[in-house]
Structure 1
Amino acid sequence: MTGPAPECLLEAFRAYEAALMADDVATLDELFAPGADTLRADGEGVLVGHDRIAEFRATRGGAPGRTLAEVHVRAVDQDSALVVAGTVLDRGGRGLQTQLWQRSADRPGHGGWRITAAHVSVSPPALDARVWRAVGDPLVPPSGDGPLTGQTVAVKDLYAVAGHAVGAGNPARLADAAPEPAHAGAVGRLLGAGAAVRGIARTDEFAYSLAGTNAHYGTPPNPAAPYRVPGGSSSGSASAVALGHATIGLGTDTGGSIRVPAAYQGLYGIRTTHGAVDRSGLLPLAADFDAVGWLTRSPALLAAVGDVLLPAGSSGGGDRLVFLPGLVDSAEPDVRSAVRGWLADAGATELGETLDDLDAWRAAFQTWQGFQAWQAHGPWLADRMDVLGPDVRSRFETAAAIDDDAAGRARALLDTARSRVLDLVGDRVLVLPSAPSVAPLAATGATPELRNATMRLTCLAALAGLPAVSLPVRTGDGLPAGVCLVAAPGRDRALLDLVQEDTRT
């Protein structure tokens, strides 16, 4: 230790360190100053306020084991001091913590010392296993030159990458799967156009989630909204792009799995017309809804990938933007305001129509999705349900109980819904929120109610097999949200052109 320490400061510091290693949340909360101005920062972002810090700490499961190597104190005055401590991590590598301590006579215990601001840094792992299942420099080199030369791809762990097994976000499935003999169709096209595969990115188990959490591998970070969920199920691909680890995130969208992470992380994303892009080598969730999609940080690259993967030409149609007030107003107030601001700037036309059956359509969508998911994965999962995380297991248990009659009724209602949605969209572009809320805090997660509210919006494009592009907007608090543009089948390129022309993002 260097530098004189004010009275009792080191005792308080050591009490903090001991509590941290013991995951003694109550003592840690006591040693962080109360109030809305207390700060804690690390490589993922800044937490502001004692309550936010306490919420984070209560759910993270403890800090990595470490040993103090050095402690330096610089007193500001008798009641304020800066502590800088170097640590050696049990797993290897070094860490550093910087803390501003302040003393108040009216605070009992620990000599009245409390942390008012803290910053923590540790040696980064060689592989962030929350984001990547496998990664290289590159993992797979391009097979040709073309319009995507120099670009890198994070491939969702549902697509075949030659020589690697498909794990689908589940370690038991990965252990049971054989290496793929050839690339998935979409992967091969990207490699042929000059892109390299940076790695295989994490997904929610079997892509059966919209949150982006994974019970086995953890939650990929959301750099655009720190300490919030990344959105799923293309979570790893989205986080890799938002972090700058890759320029293209190849994913899928069954019920919103491109559009939701795009909204939560401030990215551009497209769900393509159902069947427009080759799905060979893609592990299904619900074949009637599964669509190839991708995420980027710019609209130009989003379109460039479309030039490679989408069929040539377009089905025509206009670019008149329309919206239904009921859909926009179903979003939470901050997202609703951001979307309405975009609509006003874009000169979108309000439609007087309503979708009174939307909740029934959403329920039918989830029933048919579950029925198909069990058809696809039930034979393998039937005696292995314990390998699934709680949320996904619950969905598969529900799916397993759907009988042929219930599935048939759902399918019939979806046929009606598809016709209604196709008529509504026509040759126009329907605008709605990509998700009804900003990304939920990782400490609390997404509730079943939020999942249903999200599916209520995202199922419209999915049940009708329509292309949908999500583009980023910001709420009044600066958090990312998404505006979704939906058009008739085959109008993918028209949507990509429209987004490139937009100057509001």
Structure 2
Amino acid sequence: MASSSANIWVMLGLGLAGTILLMTQKLKKTVKEDFGAFIQKLKLLPPPQPAPPKAPHPLTNLTFAVSDLIDIEGHVTGFGNPDWARTHQAASRTASVVSTLVDGGATCIGKTIIDEMAYSVIGENKHYGTPTNPGVHDRIPGGSCSGAAVSVAANLVDFSLGIDAIGGVRLPSGFCGVIGFRASHGSISQSGIIPISPSLDTIGFCAKDPDVLRRAVHVVMKLQFAAQRSPRQIIIADDCFELIKLPVDQVIQPVIRSTEKLFGRQVLKHENLGAYLSSKVSSLLELSAKKNNNQVKTSTINLLAHMMQSLLRYEFKENHGEWINSVKPDVGASIRALFHEGNVIDESEIQKMHRVKTEMRLALNSLLKDDGLLVIPTFADPPQKVGGKEMSSETYLNRFNSLQSIASLSGCCQVTIPLGYHNKCPLSVSFIAKHGGDRFLLDIVQTMYSNIQEQVEVVSKSKSTSNSYSRERSAELAKEKGNQAFKEKQWQKAIGFYGEAIKLYESNATYYSNRAAAYLELGSFVQAEVDCTKAIELDRKNVKAYLRRGTAREMLGYYKEAIEDFRYALVLEPTNKRAAVSMERLKNLFQ
């Protein structure tokens, strides 16, 4: 009898263990297959390949997915809410952006989950679940186009499509460790796409391979392939990096090192973006004064975050308020809050915000021109744990929105670049180009991407990088103070600032060359010659250092050496009149 009971318990134990094993295997299989990214599987096949000698379709053999706010003929666009899906008919036409990609040779394999009515940046959907972040399973994937980023990160498709109003593609791409691209506002037709906030909405792409991303965008935007241009300047927005609660050196150093290696140090610039915008965007002053927020630096960026949210709320309500009021759907608290009596936005304020948007675009286009990039963090904090409450914090959301607002309000194009992980959480950096600079931005990403990834490895292994960015930034600030003192003809003061910069970052040729210029003004020709020689050792193409050393040597009576310096400056810069005149004068006098 005892033996029989024991056998029963053994059988029950084995059965229970088998059930658990099957459930575990089923769960792993579900996660492995689609990570909860898809809400619907389908297939849109490209047309047959053209007969030779015509070239094959440019996107042949590539697959993609679309977010569930983009129409596909014969399928209901669900907009992340079952009541919306229930009350809307199947689409009569496929969105033009999807048709263009399919005609270009790509195959669409399904629709991906979005946040409810795309009105969130978290990636959670109470109706359809939260897609699993492939890189960090216990962290949110980010929204609103969570499934689009997850489908790419999990290698389920080559690229995916979504809509980015306030970070709907950029944030999930950054959180899931893939490349995210926000196109210039108005550059791609949004026909057949449910609007969220039309003045902010634009098409976004997720991809792992920069070449795949570039090819897909070229097809959609009908861009012509042309010779790639190097950036004239890569501007680091210092005040934006002060916002983040992540290791700054691991975010910025790969970009700095890659820039130095590919384009040279002279391309790098630093800018206080908040101060720049507050000086260029006059309409900000009215809104800033109303909020009693006249601080520079992060406060200006913070104000932009509030503006972006106000525009989103106003336009979302304008587009979908009637449906929500008539259907009374089951929606989340953040959407319900829009319809509280106290939540009314003055239309005159909205008009002011639109003026700010226009001025912001002009200001950033003026700063970046045709061949400049602005570097900012993609997000301020690592993704929270699934089910966490951090995203409900106003401070937490403001840091997120501040960084997203720059491209959203200006309409500029932006790309996010993954930078590996820190404490098992993803890191990402973003490049912004002028409005309409999409091709230039994608070309630069393709040029820099692999080198940035190499530098990520270098930085992660280096123990000395934690303070390098702050030292370099301090050195640049000291140099700028030296430049100001030089302009004010305070030569000794300038020498002191340049000396401080050299102590902080002794391998910068410009610092030595600038100090030499101040020494020349004081008649300290020996010190000027020494500094110029050091500058030339660090940078053989530093024309100013040759000119200044030539001047110092001439004053010291080393005429032959001075002639050689002016001659070499002329080789480097054949149109340099100062070098030509100085060399000819000395040759006529002493040869």
Q: Please tell me the TM-score bracket, short chain as reference.
A: 0.7 to 0.9
Whose helix proportion is higher, 1 or 2? 2
3-state SS of paired residue (2:18): strand
Is residue 461 from structure 1 mapped to residue 407 from structure 2 by the alignment? yes
Distance 1:370 1:407 in 2: 11
What are the ranges of 5 or more consecutive residues in structure 2 without an aligned counterpart? 1-8, 50-56, 261-266, 275-295, 454-591
Q: 1:164 to 1:399 in 2, by over 3 A?
A: farther
Task: Indicate which of 42, 45, 55 corresponds to 1:141.
Answer: 45
Determine the structure 1 residue equivalent to 2:131: 220
Deviations 1:206-263 (A, max 9, x none): 2111111112111111011221000111101111111122221111111111111111
Determine the structure 2 residue equivalent to 1:389: 332
Deviations 1:256-298 (A, max 9, x none): 1111111101101110011111211111111111111110111
Distance 2:333 2:382 in 1: 24
Distance 2:306 2:364 in 1: 16
Determine the structure 1 residue equivalent to 2:118: 207
3-state SS of paired residue (2:452): coil
Matched residue count: 401
Determine the structure 2 residue equivalent to 1:500: 446
Q: 1:454 to 1:298 in 2, by over 3 A?
A: same
Task: Indicate which of 318, 324, 327 corresponds to 2:237.
Answer: 324
Deviations 1:374-406 (A, max 9, x none): 111111112445521223433565996223233
Q: 1:411 to 1:399 in 2, by over 3 A?
A: farther
Is residue 351 from structure 1 mapped to residue 351 from structure 2 by the alignment? no
Determine the structure 2 residue equivalent to 1:87: 19
3-state SS of paired residue (2:216): helix
Q: Structure 2 length as normaliser, TM-score?
A: 0.63
Is residue 443 from structure 1 mapped to residue 387 from structure 2 by the alignment? yes
Distance 2:375 2:323 in 1: 40
Deviations 1:289-329 (A, max 9, x none): 11111101111111111121123249998612111210112
3-state SS of paired residue (1:371): helix
Displacement after TM superposition at 1:476 (Å): 3.5
Percent of pairs with identical residues = 26
Distance 1:129 1:228 in 2: 13
3-state SS of paired residue (1:87): helix
Task: Indicate which of 231, 244, 252 corresponds to 1:340.
Answer: 252
Distance 2:29 2:143 in 1: 27
Could you tell me whether the CA contact under 8 Å between 2:236 and 2:271 is conserved in 1? Answer: no
Distance 2:33 2:80 in 1: 16
Is residue 289 from structure 1 mapped to residue 200 from structure 2 by the alignment? yes
Is residue 177 from structure 1 mapped to residue 120 from structure 2 by the alignment? no
Letter in structure 1 aligned against 2:316: A
Determine the structure 1 residue equivalent to 2:582: none
Q: Which moved more, 1:437-446 or 1:371-380?
A: 437-446
Deviations 1:31-79 (A, max 9, x none): xxxxxxxxxxxxxxxxxxxxxxxxxxxxxxxxxxxx96536xxxxxxxx
Distance 2:87 2:331 in 1: 14
Is residue 278 from structure 1 mapped to residue 189 from structure 2 by the alignment? yes
Q: Which moved more, 1:383-392 or 1:488-497?
A: 383-392
3-state SS of paired residue (1:294): strand
Q: 1:163 to 1:413 in 2, by over 3 A?
A: same
Distance 1:122 1:293 in 2: 30
Distance 1:416 1:358 in 2: 15
Q: 1:325 to 1:123 in 2, by over 3 A?
A: closer
Determine the structure 1 residue equivalent to 2:426: 480
Displacement after TM superposition at 1:181 (Å): 1.1
Task: Indicate which of 161, 169, 193 corresponds to 1:250.
Answer: 161
Write out aligned runs for 1:77-156 (5 A).
Answer: 85-87=17-19, 94-96=22-24, 121=27, 124=30, 130-136=36-42, 139-145=43-49, 146-156=57-67
- Aligned-residue Cα RMSD (Å) equals 2.9
Could you tell me whether the CA contact under 8 Å between 1:211 and 1:230 is conserved in 2? Answer: yes
3-state SS of paired residue (1:379): helix
Letter in structure 2 aligned against 1:443: G
Q: 1:380 to 1:332 in 2, by over 3 A?
A: same
Could you tell me whether the CA contact under 8 Å between 1:241 and 1:296 is conserved in 2? Answer: yes
Q: 1:302 to 1:123 in 2, by over 3 A?
A: closer
Letter in structure 1 aligned against 2:236: F
Distance 1:344 1:284 in 2: 38
Distance 1:202 1:96 in 2: 24
Displacement after TM superposition at 1:486 (Å): 0.5
Distance 1:400 1:127 in 2: 43
Distance 2:189 2:326 in 1: 32
Distance 1:354 1:294 in 2: 26
Is residue 452 from structure 1 mapped to residue 384 from structure 2 by the alignment? no
Q: 1:333 to 1:68 in 2, by over 3 A?
A: same
Task: Indicate which of 424, 429, 434 corresponds to 2:378.
Answer: 434
Distance 1:126 1:396 in 2: 40
Displacement after TM superposition at 1:130 (Å): 3.8
Could you tell me whether the CA contact under 8 Å between 1:374 and 1:400 is conserved in 2? Answer: no
Distance 1:426 1:231 in 2: 32
Could you tell me whether the CA contact under 8 Å between 2:76 and 2:90 is conserved in 1? Answer: yes
Q: 1:267 to 1:398 in 2, by over 3 A?
A: farther
Letter in structure 2 aligned against 1:467: C
